[in-house]
Protein backbone atom coordinates (compact mmCIF):
# COMPACT_ATOMS: atom_id res chain seq x y z
CA UNK A 1 0.00 0.00 0.00
CA UNK A 2 1.43 3.36 -1.04
CA UNK A 3 1.97 6.02 1.60
CA UNK A 4 -0.10 9.17 1.23
CA UNK A 5 2.91 11.27 2.20
CA UNK A 6 4.49 12.85 -0.88
CA UNK A 7 7.88 13.42 0.75
CA UNK A 8 9.54 11.61 3.63
CA UNK A 9 12.70 13.07 5.19
CA UNK A 10 14.80 10.43 6.94
CA UNK A 11 17.85 11.00 9.11
CA UNK A 12 19.77 8.22 10.82
CA UNK A 13 22.40 8.80 13.45
CA UNK A 14 24.73 6.16 14.77
CA UNK A 15 25.48 5.87 18.47
CA UNK A 16 28.88 4.89 19.77
CA UNK A 17 29.76 1.22 19.88
CA UNK A 18 32.45 1.40 22.51
CA UNK A 19 32.56 2.49 26.11
CA UNK A 20 34.76 5.31 27.28
CA UNK A 21 35.32 7.08 30.55
CA UNK A 22 32.74 9.64 29.47
CA UNK A 23 29.09 8.94 29.98
CA UNK A 24 27.64 7.50 26.78
CA UNK A 25 24.20 8.75 27.72
CA UNK A 26 25.46 12.35 27.51
CA UNK A 27 26.99 11.73 24.07
CA UNK A 28 23.86 9.93 22.84
CA UNK A 29 21.65 12.76 24.10
CA UNK A 30 23.85 15.23 22.21
CA UNK A 31 23.50 13.14 19.04
CA UNK A 32 19.72 13.11 19.46
CA UNK A 33 19.67 16.89 19.96
CA UNK A 34 21.75 17.41 16.81
CA UNK A 35 19.43 15.09 14.87
CA UNK A 36 16.42 17.12 16.02
CA UNK A 37 18.12 20.37 14.96
CA UNK A 38 18.99 18.95 11.54
CA UNK A 39 15.41 17.78 11.00
CA UNK A 40 14.02 21.15 12.11
CA UNK A 41 16.26 22.85 9.53
CA UNK A 42 15.10 20.39 6.85
CA UNK A 43 11.46 21.12 7.73
CA UNK A 44 12.17 24.84 7.54
CA UNK A 45 13.69 24.44 4.06
CA UNK A 46 10.69 22.40 2.88
CA UNK A 47 8.22 24.95 4.21
CA UNK A 48 10.12 27.86 2.62
CA UNK A 49 9.76 26.06 -0.70
CA UNK A 50 6.01 25.52 -0.13
CA UNK A 51 6.45 21.78 0.33
CA UNK A 52 3.82 20.98 2.93
CA UNK A 53 3.02 17.31 2.34
CA UNK A 54 6.00 15.74 4.12
CA UNK A 55 7.04 13.96 7.27
CA UNK A 56 10.44 14.09 8.95
CA UNK A 57 11.84 11.23 11.01
CA UNK A 58 15.14 10.82 12.84
CA UNK A 59 16.11 7.30 13.86
CA UNK A 60 19.03 5.82 15.72
CA UNK A 61 21.05 3.34 13.73
CA UNK A 62 23.01 2.72 10.58
CA UNK A 63 22.04 5.12 7.77
CA UNK A 64 22.24 2.41 5.09
CA UNK A 65 19.69 0.22 6.80
CA UNK A 66 17.50 3.10 7.97
CA UNK A 67 17.17 4.53 4.46
CA UNK A 68 16.54 1.19 2.75
CA UNK A 69 14.02 0.20 5.43
CA UNK A 70 12.23 3.56 5.15
CA UNK A 71 11.74 3.34 1.38
CA UNK A 72 10.62 -0.27 1.62
CA UNK A 73 8.16 0.45 4.45
CA UNK A 74 6.67 3.42 2.57
CA UNK A 75 6.69 1.76 -0.88
CA UNK A 76 8.64 4.76 -2.15
CA UNK A 77 9.02 5.36 -5.86
CA UNK A 78 12.44 6.98 -5.45
CA UNK A 79 15.16 7.58 -2.88
CA UNK A 80 16.93 10.91 -3.34
CA UNK A 81 20.08 11.28 -1.30
CA UNK A 82 23.26 13.28 -1.11
CA UNK A 83 26.82 12.12 -1.43
CA UNK A 84 29.71 13.33 0.74
CA UNK A 85 32.11 12.97 -2.15
CA UNK A 86 34.74 11.06 -0.18
CA UNK A 87 37.79 9.87 -2.06
CA UNK A 88 38.34 6.19 -2.73
CA UNK A 89 40.52 5.64 0.37
CA UNK A 90 38.05 7.24 2.79
CA UNK A 91 35.14 5.47 1.08
CA UNK A 92 36.94 2.13 1.44
CA UNK A 93 37.41 2.71 5.18
CA UNK A 94 34.05 4.31 6.02
CA UNK A 95 31.89 2.68 3.39
CA UNK A 96 29.47 4.52 1.16
CA UNK A 97 25.86 4.91 2.23
CA UNK A 98 24.82 6.05 -1.24
CA UNK A 99 26.56 3.09 -2.91
CA UNK A 100 24.91 0.66 -0.50
CA UNK A 101 21.47 2.18 -1.09
CA UNK A 102 21.96 2.20 -4.87
CA UNK A 103 22.48 -1.56 -4.72
CA UNK A 104 20.01 -2.53 -1.98
CA UNK A 105 17.07 -0.10 -2.01
CA UNK A 106 13.88 -1.57 -3.52
CA UNK A 107 13.33 1.56 -5.66
CA UNK A 108 15.26 3.87 -7.95
CA UNK A 109 17.98 5.91 -6.25
CA UNK A 110 19.06 9.42 -7.27
CA UNK A 111 22.40 10.48 -5.77
CA UNK A 112 23.03 14.22 -5.70
CA UNK A 113 26.70 15.11 -5.64
CA UNK A 114 28.05 17.71 -3.25
CA UNK A 115 28.85 20.87 -5.23
CA UNK A 116 32.53 21.62 -5.69
CA UNK A 117 33.77 24.57 -3.66
CA UNK A 118 35.09 26.42 -6.72
CA UNK A 119 32.05 25.76 -8.95
CA UNK A 120 30.81 28.88 -10.70
CA UNK A 121 27.04 28.87 -11.14
Together in a domain, 16 and 49 = yes
How confident is the model over 50-59, as pLDDT tens digits? Answer: 888 888 888 8
Predicted pLDDT at 93? 63
Whether residue 3 is predicted with pLDDT greater than 70 in this model: the reply is no
Q: Which domain holds residue 29?
A: 1-61
Going by the DSSP 8-state scheme, the letter that residue 21 receives in this structure is S
How confident is the model over 10-40, as pLDDT tens digits? Answer: 888 776 555 555 556 667 778 888 888 988 9
* Cβ-based neighbour number of residue 22 at 10 Å: 9
Residue 55 to residue 43: CA distance in whole angstroms: 8
Structurally, the chain folds into a number of domains equal to: 2
Whether residue 94 is predicted with pLDDT greater than 80 in this model: the reply is no
Together in a domain, 50 and 105 = no
Amino acid sequence: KKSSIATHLQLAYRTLFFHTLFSLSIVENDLKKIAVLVMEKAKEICEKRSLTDFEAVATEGDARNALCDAVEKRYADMLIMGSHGYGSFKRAILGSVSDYCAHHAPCSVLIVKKPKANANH
